[in-house]
A and B are shown apart, each in its own frame.
Chain A
Amino acid sequence: MQSETTKIAILVVLATLIFLLMPVFLIMYIRSYNRHKKNHILEKQHMQQQFEAEMLQARIEVQDNTMQAIATELHDNVGQLLSLTTLTLNSINLDHSDKATVKIENSLSLVNKSIKELRELAKLLHGEQIVENGLGNALQQEINWLEKTGSYELQVSNQLHNLQENSPDKDLIILRLLQEIINNIIKHANATSISFNAYYEDKKLYLNVEENGVGFNYEKAKANKAGLGLSSISKRIEMINGKLALNSIPNKGTNILIEIPYP
């Protein structure tokens, strides 16, 4: 009888200990889970900070690009027009009224042209506001500036003009991507023909740029991170969960297809 009672006592004590150990293990599990959660939150915050830093960088680069375009335009276009106007006005001889009238008319035409160019420039000065009018318009504006150089034969298919969705942060990055691609083409590709194709399908935005330039070895360029701004393009596409497909054949040209979940 005594041993039976002892057995029951041991059983009860053991069962109670097990019941007490369970909360201990539970606390240990919660602690470990909580630590993982903390790390995850910190990682998310870090990524958010990185994203914000990247956004700031993209914004600065867009502004920089705009300023460069304005400087070039002022120097090469408006500056030339106004110099020509000054020369024309200086050469007026009031004794020859017929010639003077023609020269004044020419000067007036040059001044009007300068005003028109300045108005175009004012649009560019909006810089960041470009994307506020829609991604389609922003991309079109970039392409228009490229067209004005007259150095390339362009084929453009931009279906983003009436895009209902919008995502300001992504828009700025996409605009910056296009600027970077255009800069690369101007600096390195030596192309004569460029085609742009931008469209939206199944919650995804596609941007396809194809040119007939000198091409390059993509694998080598990827390894050389300082070159071509390729790493910057890849990093930004990755940041907005996009995909990049780049196909380049030396002396034949390059085809870049970017796929971005949107908005």
Chain B
Amino acid sequence: MNFTSPIVIAEIMCLIGAVIFLRNDKSIFWKLNIAYLLLALLTEAAGSYMSSKRENNLWLFNSFVFFEISFIFIGIWHCLKNYLIPKPIIYVGLGIVYSIYFGFIAKDSIMVFNSTAVTVMSVVFSLYCLYYYYLLLNDEKFIEIKYHSEFWWITGVLFYYFGGTVCNLLSDVFDVRFGKSLTLRYAITIALNFILYSVWTYSYLCRAKQQKLQS
């Protein structure tokens, strides 16, 4: 049985970081990070296992995308609410991404990888992250970004989704293999996952510091 993969390792490390730094956090969003990472870890581990058994695991990843969309939007909501009332713009983004997600599933079934929804989702998340930066720069208040948990959480999201845009857009035109099972797309995904989870772990550390200072 093969449950492990580099992505699983990255997720375990991030989950451990999240549990250590966020276990006493009172904010629902930060607590939700632990639940999300656990879900991501279980999905990835189950996906690896199914892959090793040569079973189709795309339905599993497609289902996970549903939670991924919700969680990232909750995070963006949490970060944007410091600068504006995010309800309208979040609902617009959520509406667009979910429409494409369900539209694709209705058209091609859940057993085919929902690449269109993932590509659109990546572009939408990147735009929201850039909008967050714009609001942060325009804000009159000064924040120490070096230790600002929300900033680093958003930065992790931007790295992952913006960095993955090329892969998402060109996934259909290239299929480069480095060995028996390692494709270029998978190698880039591993790298992006390591960046995402490293930056998120740092944001949890910042959050813990912030909480410690406030208590």
Mark A residues whose CB is within 8 Å of B.
5-6, 8-9, 12-13, 15-16, 19-20, 22-23, 26-27, 30-31, 33-34, 37-38, 41
Name the CB-closest residue of A to B145.
Answer: A34
A30 neighbours in B (Cβ, 8 Å):
133, 136-137, 145
**Complex contact A8–B173 (CB within 8 A):** yes
Say yes or no: A34-B163 contact (C-beta < 8 A), given A13-B184, A23-B155: no
Please list 7 pairs of residues, one from A and one from B, whose beta carbons are closer than 8 Å in the complex, sorted by A's number: A8-B170, A8-B174, A8-B176, A22-B162, A30-B133, A31-B145, A34-B145
* Pick from B133, B142, B155, B167: contact of A16, CB under 8 Å: B167
The 10 closest A-B pairs by CB, nearest first: A15-B166, A9-B176, A20-B163, A8-B174, A16-B166, A23-B158, A38-B142, A41-B142, A19-B163, A37-B142
The reply to whether the CB of B89 lies closer than 8 angstroms to some CB of chain A is no
Further contacts, 17 of them, CB under 8 A, given A16-B188, A19-B165, A30-B137: A5-B176, A9-B174, A12-B166, A12-B188, A15-B166, A16-B163, A16-B164, A20-B159, A20-B162, A20-B195, A23-B158, A23-B159, A26-B130, A26-B133, A27-B155, A30-B133, A30-B136
A19 pairs with B174, CB closer than 8 A = no
Q: How far is the CB of B141 from chain A (nearest CB, A)?
A: 8
Q: Is the CB of B74 closer than 8 A to any CB of chain A? A: no
Is the CB–CB distance between B184 and A9 below 8 Å?
yes
CB-based contact B136/A19 at 8 Å = no
Q: Is B35 an interface position by the 8 A CB rule?
A: no
B20 contacts chain A at the CB level, 8 A cutoff = no
B interface majority secondary structure = helix
Among B114-170, those with CB < 8 Å from A are: 130, 133, 136-137, 142-143, 145, 155, 158-159, 162-167, 170
Q: Is A23 within 8 A of B188, CB to CB?
A: no
Q: Give the number of A-B contacts (CB < 8 Å).
A: 57
Residues of A contacting B195 in the complex (Cβ-Cβ under 8 angstroms): 20
User: A41 vs B164: C-alpha distance in the bound complex, in angstroms?
Assistant: 37
Assembly CA distance A250 to B159 (angstroms)? 73
In the docked arrangement, what's the CA distance between A12 and B143, Å? 36
The answer to whether B163 touches A33, judged by C-beta atoms less than 8 angstroms apart, is no
| Chain A contacts for B166, CB-based, 8 A | 12, 15-16, 19
Residues of B within 8 A of A (CB): 130, 133, 136-137, 142-143, 145, 155, 158-159, 162-167, 170, 173-174, 176, 184, 188, 195
A25 to chain B, nearest CB (A): 12
In the assembled complex, the Cα of A5 lies from the Cα of B184 at a distance in Å of 11
| A12 and B184 contacting across the interface, CB-CB below 8 Å | yes
Q: Which residues of A contact B159 (CB under 8 A)?
A: 20, 23
User: Smallest distance from the beta carbon of B177 to chain A beta carbons, Å?
Assistant: 9
CB distance from B15 to the nearest CB of A (A): 24
**In the complex, what residues of A have CB within 8 A of residue B188's CB?**
12-13, 16
* Cα of A22 to Cα of B137 in the assembled complex, Å: 17
**A22 — nearest CB in chain B belongs to which residue?**
B162
| Assembled-state Cα–Cα distance A141/B143 (Å) | 49
B133 CB contacts on chain A under 8 angstroms? 26, 30
B142 and A34 form a contact (CB under 8 A)? yes
Chain A residues whose CB sits within 8 angstroms of the CB of B167 once the complex forms: 12, 16
Query: Which A residue sits closest to B195, measured CB to CB?
Result: A20
Contacts of A20 in B (CB 8 A): 159, 162-163, 195
- Cα-based distance from A143 to B136 in the complex (angstroms): 53
B residues near A9, Cβ cutoff 8 Å: 174, 176, 184
- Measured between alpha carbons, how far is A83 from B155 in the docked complex, in Å? 84
Question: How distant is the Cα of A6 from the Cα of B176 in the complex, in angstroms?
Answer: 8
User: How many angstroms between the C-alpha atoms of A173 and B166 in the bound complex?
Assistant: 63
Closest CB-CB distance, A142 to chain B, in whole Å?
Answer: 40
Complex Cα gap A213–B110 (Å): 97
A123 to B173, CA, bound (A): 90
